[in-house]
Amino acid sequence: MQDRAAQLGDKVVYQISVRSFNDSNGDGIGDLRGITQRLDYLKELGVDYLWITPFFSSPQNDNGYDVADYRSVEPMFGTMADFDELSREAKARGIGLMLDMVFNHTSTSHEWFRRALTGDPKYLAYYKFVDAAPDATAAKPGEPPTNWVSKFGGSAWEYVPALHKWYLHLFDVSQADLNWDNPEVRAELADVVRFWKAKGVSGFRFDVVNLISKPERLEDDFEGDGRRFYTDGPHVHEYLQELVREGGIEDMVTVGEMSSTSIENCIRYTAPRYHELTQAFSFHHLKVDYAGGDKWALAEPDIPRLRGLLRDWQERMTAGGGWNALFWSNHDQPRPNSRFGDCSTRELWRRSSELLPVCTHLLRGTPYVYQGEELGMTNPDFTSIDQYRDVESLNYYKILQDEGATPEEAFHIVRERSRDDSRTPVQWDGSANAGFTSGTPWIGIPANHAYVNAADEMADPDSVWSFYRRIIALRKECPVVQAGDVRFLDAASDKVIAYERTLEDAASGPRRLVVACNFSGADAAALPADALDGGSVLIENCDDHRIQDGTLVLGPWCAVALAW
């Protein structure tokens, strides 16, 4: 066990969504060998770990998060020999691999679930099955055990006539929730972790892991969708401690995706004294543009609320000894420059794309770069629902219309919120298929790949890619970024997020940083000039910040970090 800043403070993680990263064989789908081919690119960017989304055997109903076999490679992504090659080559470049483990549920194609469907009592106990009413039939199954809603829409329960039982699926109907109260299930999953650890992986990301512990008593939720009963559930901390202990992974890099969680729980998940995980993803800051808290109701980003959430999670997690994963985007989120910035012109796109890492990479925690974010990739601006592949997006296109939206209104919402916004192929160059594949890509490629691409940006010292490379290097160079305390500052404009990092005993580099970011398309007053006396610019995305009437004023989408 060690202090999180000492363990993780200088590290940066890069997320790879395998299907969309790089295609090595021309079938239009990214694969493991495609990752190996781009390792030199990742080494030059400066990242330390690669979080790789699931490449295990899967029907691919949910982009691989419906796992049919935890110990085998889905053929479309390659072979185990391809993984072993990737592992060797990454290690040779000083890059660790973090695998994405989906342990809340399995695919209904998994052998365990198939055996449960035969009535095998051993495997029925692996899942959350509940008896149906005595008079239930296939045509009239009656009411499900609870009124809980699936994250993908509709009931969270599915009736199996042959068994006369319902099974729980918090996500797609093909993703059956495991029964973590069964010690045999916990032992199976710990063995999966040991299997991949023995193959040389350096860490794990655990998908929606705070949902694994369900309540013993199942009841309807008349206030929400049911999540308050199973989020950060009754035994989640002890089950995680057991997984870490039995899997032998306490000293490895581990991160939990925490759905609708709390700061108090995330301190327990990540503070070393609790022997659980090393860091946590929380998503509250990515809901500030949800009208009424509804993902499928659009609103302008609430920047004061965003500032408040970042402040609370930074300051309170620091006080409690916890550790944050710092991120704007992943395979489930729209592109952040399209969402929180302005991509209407190339200059505003560049500023918006560089504002975001200044805001998060200089905070306390471990920054994550989602593939293409370092290039400034944007939402694809598809024009037809037929261009989308994501099961959630297609479901909600129908649900929104069932709730009264016109097809045009439903499409506009999906276009802004779809998980496919971040799943288009990485734009390696300006050629027809963006250098991603020699075949036909599995999903369309944005037209802006003509100028938003790795080949052009790596050759340009003023590009978004070059900016990311510099800010990643700063984390490795500056102890104050790695381990300093954090305190948020009161800004003159509610569109400005500002904070201070301090480390009095910094052995090298600055001992104090002040970071100010303008999340608007107009000039914004930031901080009193006298508080900035003697500071020098450490990094900036523009040159139109200035002192005016005793105040630091930031230009549109301007971000600057000052050092002492």
Q: Which residues are catalytic?
A: 207, 257
16: Cβ–Cβ under 8 A, 6 or more apart, which residues?
35, 50, 51, 52, 53, 371
How far is it, in rounded angstroms, from Cα 271 to Cα 1?
10
User: What is the token pair recorded at 387?
Assistant: 């261009």
Query: CA 530, 533, 537: angle at the middle one, nearest 5?
Result: 125
Over 324-355, what HEC string results?
Answer: EEECCCCCCCCCHHHHHCCCCCHHHHHHHHHH
Rounded Cα–Cα distance for residues 387 and 255 (Å): 32
**DSSP annotation of 154:** S
Burial annotation 391-425 (CB, 10 A radius, 16+ → b, else e): bbbbbbbebbeeeebeeeebbebbbebbbbbbbbb
Task: Tell me the two tokens of residue 243.
Answer: 């997984």
At residue 281, what are phi and psi to the nearest 5 degrees? -90, 125
Asked if residue 498 lies in contact with residue 515, where contact means CB atoms within 8 angstroms, the answer is: yes
DSSP state of 361: H
E strands present in 135-215: 157-160, 165-168, 175-177, 203-206
Q: Which amino acid is at 534?
A: G
